[in-house]
Amino acid sequence: MTLAPLFTFWYNGQGDDMTRFRQTRITKEERVAVRIGELLSDFRLDLESLGYYIARANPYVIYRRFENVAESALAEREGVENNRMDINNDRLF
């Protein structure tokens, strides 16, 4: 599964048929996020046991980093939903 095409095309606005190519790069963080999503999409996986082993089998630093990622994902999801529902728009007129 790729997140972005290898090349994106755009019109240069000069009136001629020149097309420029820009190579898009997928970051290491995006690759890791997609891989984590693929691993968690297996519905046969017991998530409570997974949480148990993350907390027990890894050093505390790894657990805290995992917790930080989960909190960041939650905050990002809430921000996306708030923007979609236009909750942050407090204008009266």
- Domain contains 34: no
- Domain contains 31: no
Looking at residues 64-87, what average pLDDT do you find? 86
Number of domains in the chain: 1
pLDDT per residue as tens digits for the range 9-48: 454 555 555 555 566 788 999 999 999 999 999 999 999 9
The answer to whether residues 7 and 22 touch, using CB atoms and an 8 Å cutoff, is yes
Structural domain range at position 69: 46-85
pLDDT band, residue 60 (cuts 50/70/90): very high
Report which secondary-structure segment, H or E, holds 69: helix 60-85
- Domain contains 58: yes
pLDDT band, residue 82 (cuts 50/70/90): confident
pTM above 0.95, yes or no: no
| Average pLDDT over the chain, rounded to an integer | 79
- Domain contains 67: yes
- Domain contains 16: no
> What pLDDT is stored for residue 83 in this prediction?
75
